[in-house]
Chains A and B, each alone.
Chain A
Amino acid sequence: DAGVIQSPRHEVTEMGQEVTLRCKPISGHNSLFWYRQTMMRGLELLIYFNNNVPIDDSGMPEDRFSAKMPNASFSTLKIQPSEPRDSAVYFCASNDRGPDQPQHFGDGTRLSIL
């Protein structure tokens, strides 16, 4: 079975540029989660979608961050404009039952903002 697929795996860009991270959840999963992982703050939930609808975006750090899920098989996390403090590993996860059930994680996008 294909797991959660994220792209790109690595992204290096300059401050001020727009960054788009992509995620394909596991087929049949109706819940999708975006996380950010840093050494200082660990793994933090950014936003949670259910049936393509954003349910909770309280973890999105600033208006520079936005996420969309146009259909059940694709989601994007966009940062515009990017800043060096956005450097982190961004994970996407999915499941078929919501936040109180185990999640399947992708292998992440390592983002470096210079």
Chain B
Amino acid sequence: EDQVTQSPEALRLQEGESSSLNCSYTVSGLRGLFWYRQDPGKGPEFLFTLYSAGEEKEKERLKATLTKKESFLHITAPKPEDSATYLCAVQADGSSASKIIFGSGTRLSIRP
């Protein structure tokens, strides 16, 4: 069964303390992996798309990487405004052309 698992469920960091969020996936065939940020009361906001193992994308303090089984979202020297829930989503091959599976998210809290 196709599955996307994010860890940890919640992460509390001090401002400036770098860390990584994990997204592990088990799918029949990966068409794309997406990272989104979601603030309370808002819809998810797109961050990155990764399509093949070895690919990396960067934006400000965030860097996303991809292997054949997992993706990491690295956060370098985070600031309080980076506090949010980070969602990973996978689009997989399958009978359904639009098969998109979201992980349950990591709630990130950055203390000043």
Give the interface of A toward B (CB within 8 A): 4, 33, 42-45, 48, 55-56, 58, 91, 93, 98-108
B112 within 8 A of A: no
Q: Could you tell me the distance between the alpha carbons of A38 and B43 in the complex, rounded to whole angstroms?
A: 13
Q: Looking at the assembled complex, report how far the CB atom of B62 sits from the nearest CB atom of chain A, in whole angstroms.
A: 15
Q: Could you tell me the distance between the alpha carbons of A56 and B97 in the complex, rounded to whole angstroms?
A: 7
Determine whether the beta carbon of B41 is less than 8 Å from that of A100.
Answer: no
State which of A33, A45, A104, A106 has its C-beta within 8 Å of the C-beta of B46: A104
Q: Which residues of B contact A91 (CB under 8 A)?
A: 43-44
Q: Which residue of A lies closest to B42 (CB)?
A: A107
Q: Looking at the assembled complex, report how far the CB atom of A57 sits from the nearest CB atom of chain B, in whole angstroms.
A: 10
Q: Which residues of A contact B58 (CB under 8 A)?
A: none
Q: Which residues of B contact A48 (CB under 8 A)?
A: 98
> Interface size (B, Cβ < 8 Å)?
23
Q: Which residues of B contact A4 (CB under 8 A)?
A: 43
Given contacts A42-B104, A43-B102, contact A56 B42 (CB under 8 A): no
B105 within 8 A of A: yes
Contact residues, B75-109 vs A (CB, 8 A):
87, 89, 91, 96-100, 102-105
State which of B42, B46, B91, B104 has its C-beta within 8 Å of the C-beta of A100: B91
Q: Looking at the assembled complex, report how far the CB atom of A92 sits from the nearest CB atom of chain B, in whole angstroms.
A: 8
Q: Which residue of A lies closest to B31 (CB)?
A: A100
Pull 27 A–B residue pairs with CB atoms less than 8 Å apart, ordered by A. A42-B103, A42-B104, A43-B44, A43-B89, A45-B98, A55-B97, A55-B98, A56-B96, A56-B97, A58-B96, A91-B44, A98-B98, A99-B91, A99-B97, A99-B98, A99-B99, A100-B32, A100-B91, A101-B32, A102-B34, A102-B49, A104-B46, A105-B36, A105-B43, A105-B44, A107-B41, A107-B42
Q: Which residues of A contact B97 (CB under 8 A)?
A: 55-56, 99
Contact residues, B42-89 vs A (CB, 8 A):
42-46, 49, 87, 89
Determine whether the beta carbon of B43 is less than 8 Å from that of A108.
Answer: yes
Given contacts A100-B32, A100-B91, contact A45 B100 (CB under 8 A): yes
